[in-house]
Amino acid sequence: MASRFLRAFLRGFLQFGKSFPEVLRVLLGSFSILVPFLKGLWRAIRHGFSRPERNSCCIRLPSTSHKRADPMIYDQYWLMSQGLGVTWDNPDIWLFDHNGNLVSGQKLDANSEYKVLVRIWNNSYEGPAPGLPVYLSYLSFRIGLTSNFIGKGFTDLGVKGSAHCPSFAEFIWHTPSTAGHYCLQALLVWADDANPNNNLGQKNTNVGKLHSPAHFDVPVHNDASIPRRFEIEVDTYQLPELPDCSQVTREKYKSRLAESRARWQRTLVQQGYGKFPVTAEWKVTMHPQQFALAAHESTVLSVDIESVSGAFTGRQMFNIHGLAKTPNGQRKLVGGVTLTVEG
């Protein structure tokens, strides 16, 4: 009896030994599947059981799953929508003549080539934008008109604070054969942009001599398919001088987000829209200041600027903003120009 039991035990042990590699393989395969599942379950427990956002064509991953770039430029439309004053003399767009000299863009030669340099920033510390497309176009000197394509460039934009931020895109612009004043627009296009509303920068300026008064004619165009009512406003906002870094006392914040919020609130107080009215030293007359335009209709805004005292030397900038009322009564910025008076 004992020998029969021993023989049966040995036979079973030998059969298990032959199948042991297969059993081990199955166990290891199950373990390799189970580990990622357990990891995903742990992440879901930590961050909450939220389903990814969906639309009709794709799944939108949450921000914790991928890092998004936020390419940006000095965008007047975005800045004013946030309550800030703006200038139409864009600090991120420069023009150079054939000798490499920086030119103001206020008196360009017809049928001539200029180099246009566009500076691009990234508002993201984690998402770069390699091969970022940059489009350059121009408008006639006016408020609200269809743009004319100049060229397309590319730039490798690094994350905020890196050696590749800001980055630059260069263009060669052959000006139209008709002499005049032109408004440049630079547009950034990034498919996975964290904020696509800060991607259009506009440079639109003009200079007039103070011959009591300085006179400007600004064409205004309604490029909408519906009638709109326009309101014109003027202020004297200018970009502030940057402080000397050695004289700035750095405050300590709990986080980078807390620092950004504090700086934003300080900027709103110091550079908010409406905080830079025309002073009593100047008289600005605009006609018409409020008017309605039918779809695709145009008119000419007449602006006269004079010094009340009659004695002025130097340069003074005035920002003219065109705002259109939407059907629900809200106002939308549709363009503008910075006028510089020289005396």
CA distance to 118, 154, 202, 248, 292, per residue, from 220 (Å): 26, 32, 16, 43, 11
* Whole-prediction pTM: 0.75
Write the DSSP symbol of residue 143: B
pLDDT (0 to 100) of residue 246: 74
What whole-number distance in Å separates Cα of residue 89 and Cα of residue 317? 10
Q: Which CATH number fits domain 71-342: 1.10.3720.10, 3.30.70.890, 2.60.40.2310, 3.50.30.30?
A: 2.60.40.2310
289/231 Cα distance (integer angstroms): 6
pLDDT at site 9: 54
Place of tokens 């639109």: 204
DSSP 127: -
* CB of 236 closer than 8 Å to CB of 279: yes
Q: Which two three-digit tokens encode residue 125?
A: 């510390």
Sign for the CA dihedral angle at 170, 174, 176, 181 comes to positive
Q: Is the dihedral of CA 159, 162, 163, 166 positive or negative?
A: positive
Q: 192, 68 in Cβ contact below 8 A?
A: yes
Q: How far is CA 209 from CA 125, 140, 206, 215, in A?
A: 45, 21, 10, 8
> Tokens 């009215």 map to which residue?
277
Residue 133 neighbours by CB under 8 Å, 6+ apart? 152, 153, 154, 188, 189, 190
- DSSP state for residue 5 in the 8-state scheme: H
Residue at 79: amino acid letter: L
pLDDT at 45: 66
Of 89, 308, 111, 319, the residue nearest 218 (C-alpha): 319
Alpha-carbon distances of 221 from 205, 260, 335, rounded to whole Å: 17, 38, 10
pLDDT at 305: 93
Q: Which two tokens stand for residue 210?
A: 């103070």
306 forms beta bridges with 283
Going by C-alpha positions, the residue among 262, 273, 144 that lies closest to residue 204 is: 144
Read out DSSP for 224-270? SSS-EEEEEEEE---PPPPPPGGG--PPP-SSHHHHHHHHHHHHHHH
Bridge-partner residues for 303, per DSSP?
Answer: 216, 286
d(CA 2, CA 23): 30
List per-residue pLDDT tens for the chain, 343 residues long: 556 655 655 565 556 555 556 655 655 555 555 666 667 666 666 655 555 555 555 556 555 556 899 999 999 999 999 999 999 999 999 999 888 999 877 667 788 899 999 999 999 989 999 999 999 998 865 565 667 899 999 999 999 999 999 999 999 998 888 766 678 999 999 999 999 999 999 998 765 555 668 888 888 888 888 899 999 999 999 998 887 777 777 778 888 788 888 888 989 999 999 999 999 999 999 999 999 999 889 899 999 999 988 777 888 999 999 999 877 778 889 989 999 888 7
In this prediction, residue 26 carries a pLDDT of: 54
CA quadruple 143, 147, 152, 157: dihedral sign:
positive
- Cα angle 158, 161, 163; round to 5: 55
Q: Could you write out the DSSP letters of every residue in 262-292?
A: HHHHHHHHHHBTTSSPPPTTEEEEEESSEEE
